[in-house]
Amino acid sequence: MSSTATASNTTAPTQFLQVKGHSFAYRRFGHGSGLPLLFLQHFTGTLDNWDPAVTDPFASAREVILFDNAGVGRSSGEVPATVAAMARHPMAFLEGLGIETCDVVGYSLGGMVALQMVQDRPSVFRRMILVGTAPRGGEDIMHLEKPNLAKRIQDPTNRGYDVLKKIFFTSSAASQGAGEAFIRRLSQREDDLEPPAGPNVAGAQIAAFREWEEFKGQRFAELRAIRHPTLVVNGVHDEMIPVSNSYRLSENLANAVLLTYPDAGHGSVFQYPESFTRQATAFLSADSASAAF
Amino acid sequence: MSSTATASNTTAPTQFLQVKGHSFAYRRFGHGSGLPLLFLQHFTGTLDNWDPAVTDPFASAREVILFDNAGVGRSSGEVPATVAAMARHPMAFLEGLGIETCDVVGYSLGGMVALQMVQDRPSVFRRMILVGTAPRGGEDIMHLEKPNLAKRIQDPTNRGYDVLKKIFFTSSAASQGAGEAFIRRLSQREDDLEPPAGPNVAGAQIAAFREWEEFKGQRFAELRAIRHPTLVVNGVHDEMIPVSNSYRLSENLANAVLLTYPDAGHGSVFQYPESFTRQATAFLSADSASAAF
């Protein structure tokens, strides 16, 4: 199947691609002359966790492809316990779609998967957007047991998407207001929904974070070989994957622009979707060898 | 005198404003509905050190005002040995021009002066752009005695503007090429030039950097009271004022977006003038309470 008639994650039907013994759930919408833009999702997130305000504006100039990795949502199989193994599935998925090169938005865990993919096969991406993520050997990656995070995650009054408002946004009135708007946007999709991730997904993904914190040899050395124009984005008050990880990315990647947002946490791009999509669209539209845009 | 007919720092005549016993050298060009944009200059820099590729694009939508602080270029008086004292001169200058509120580009030392000004009188600025600078209590600010900087500054084969190519840009071919283009642009101005700064200017400004590194009480606490939308810009490989200072600014200012450039040093905005002026123009054009643009 090719792109669908609707160009929003609120309405795009979920599709399934059979490849290498897997059935991968995905959504694909939009059209234009740009390369397809692959979205790789965060911890326990499914297709339904992509904010239409973040995905849809890209769809006017390119195909947007949202992807559930193995074992997530309605994608078959088990969630791998390493980022290296997770990276093989979107690679097979892109091969199955016949896409040799695309652009990518890798968010949180998805950014780590994107970094692993581009190391494994540099030609898979032209330009990369890495949001709220960390390089291998990064620090304080998704330690949900930290008291400040644990109390918000375990608060029984936070149900469903409400917990995202508490952990993706800061405590300011402006950020919490943006969080409410974010949840309203996610809730607009009412049919053809993904099952929420269960403890098996969370457990394997947490194991992958722990393994990703380890490094051998010179820390961050592998980043210097990645010359792809890259836009690194983070909220300055991210408690889940601290902004210092984005600093290390932009300092060590050969060709990266860093953009940080004020009064924002892990969900910075959901807090400022208009700014993010405007900046990212300008970045993707550039054809310079430099990431500067 | 009001704005001149030419809208370029290559051709704008130097003007002089007499105020509070001083004669301040400045250039003023451009027009439009935007607030005037005041440029505050770096260590030992004069009006002639403003790259027309960085100043001129702003002039199509607002007045650009370039300013020599006391004792610099043809401005009268002595260079103060503290940032606090330096901040009083542009404040008097703006009063003399009848400007109550403007926007500002503060570069390096000029960024420190801008921070001091906005603390002293918050209404003086609407939006701030802080390039390659540091908060009070910042680290490793302009230690020109560091071997890596000292050898380039003292190299007798670097004459005139050539030293800027060595200390404002990285050693990569792309960055050095941008440095050569920068020097060509500065050299386009042939008449009505400022005298280069001498050792007295450098000595007092270095003393001001040393005093600015000191802090009392909670480090960076004064930044949290500054709620002005602020755009912080730096090259990731700045050896004169390391990018960590820009991290501390964007983390502690209440309302700041950070933008860093790859393969760039202290002169990042001279390396990427098209990107910088595009980004800064979008930032200045925004009328949101948030710095996000």
pLDDT digits (tens, 9 = 90+) for A237-246: 999 999 999 9
Alpha-carbon gap: A275 to the closest alpha carbon of chain B (Å): 5
CB B65 within 8 A of CB B102: yes
pLDDT of residue B172: 97
Q: Is the pLDDT of residue A42 over 90?
A: yes
% of chain A exceeding 90 in pLDDT: 93
Q: pLDDT band at A3, cuts 50/70/90?
A: very low
Which carries the bigger pLDDT value, residue A67 or residue A162?
Answer: A67
What are the residue ranges of helices labelled H in chain B? Answer: 52-55, 83-97, 109-120, 147-154, 162-167, 173-187, 199-212, 244-252, 268-271, 273-285
Q: Provide ipTM, 2 decimals.
A: 0.96
Q: Is the pLDDT of residue A55 over 80?
A: yes
CB B226 within 8 A of CB B262: no
Q: pLDDT band at A147, cuts 50/70/90?
A: very high
- What DSSP designation does B146 have? S
pLDDT of residue B150: 92
Residues lower than pLDDT 50 in chain B: 1-4
pLDDT of residue B4: 46
**Alpha carbon distance, N-terminus to C-terminus of chain A:** 34
Q: Across all residues in chain A, what is the average pLDDT? A: 96
- For residues A269-291, average pLDDT: 97
pLDDT of residue B98: 98
Q: Is the pLDDT of residue A247 over 60?
A: yes
Residues A211, A215, A218, CA angle at the centre, nearest 5°? 170
And the tokens for B128? 């701030």
Q: Is the pLDDT of residue A265 over 90?
A: yes
Alpha-carbon gap: B151 to the closest alpha carbon of chain A (Å): 24
And the tokens for B205? 């400004």
Residue type for A279, please?
A: Q
Report the alpha-carbon distance of residue B194 to residue B190 in Å, rounded.
Answer: 10
Q: Tell whether B236 lies on the interface with A, counting CB pairs under 8 A.
A: yes
Mutate to test the interface with B, among A224, A226, A261 (most CBs of B within 10 A): A261
Asked if the Cβ–Cβ distance from A292 to B261 is below 8 Å, we say yes
pTM, entire model: 0.97
Q: Are strands B256-261 and A230-235 parallel, antiparallel or unpaired?
A: unpaired
Asked if the Cβ–Cβ distance from A260 to B258 is below 8 Å, we say yes
Number of Cβ atoms within 10 Å of the Cβ of B207: 14
CA proximity to B220, closest of B187, B252, B186:
B252
Q: Is the pLDDT of residue A40 over 50?
A: yes
Report the alpha-carbon distance of residue B27 to residue B192 in Å, rounded.
Answer: 11
Number of Cβ atoms within 10 Å of the Cβ of A215: 14
Q: Is the pLDDT of residue A90 over 70?
A: yes
pLDDT digits (tens, 9 = 90+) for A117-146: 999 999 999 999 999 999 999 999 999 999
pLDDT of residue B80: 98
Specify which residues B128 forms β-bridges with.
B104, B230
Helix (H) or strand (E) holding A125: strand A125-131
pLDDT digits (tens, 9 = 90+) for A169-213: 999 999 999 999 999 999 999 999 999 999 999 999 999 999 999
Q: Tell whether B14 lies on the interface with A, counting CB pairs under 8 A.
A: no
